[in-house]
Amino acid sequence: MSNVGTLTRADLAEALHRQVGLSRADSGKLVEQILHEMCYALSEGENVKISGFGTFVLRDKGERVGRNPKTGIEVPIEPRRVLTFRASQMMRERISAAG
């Protein structure tokens, strides 16, 4: 895995190749398929829960008034859907123990 602080698709595929024994091509396809399924579920309005890791949650935010910080002029902010991630308790414990 790369040591620059970012886990990439290639890193995940390489880990599958090493630890599970899949070919590099099959490992890459598996990673892509998992990400595709997650994206599809989210695009259909479903939340994605990975036990022991966390939950990707879609939230609808309503219209509100914002302010341009440079000019102070109020501008409307359109309603939108946002994606949030909520780490599982197990993940939070792992992260705090590692730090």
pLDDT in tens, 15-26: 999 999 999 999
User: What is the distance between the alpha carbons of residues 67 and 77, in angstroms, rounded to a whole number?
Assistant: 9
Q: Domains of the chain (ranges plus CATH)?
A: 1-45 (4.10.520.10), 47-99 (4.10.520.10)
* Contact between 86 and 49 (Cβ < 8 Å): no
Question: pTM of the prediction?
Answer: 0.75
Residues contacting 61, CB < 8 A, separation 6+: 79, 80, 81, 82
Q: Tell me the per-residue pLDDT of 31-61, one tens digit each, with 9 for 90 and over.
A: 999 999 999 999 999 999 999 999 999 999 9
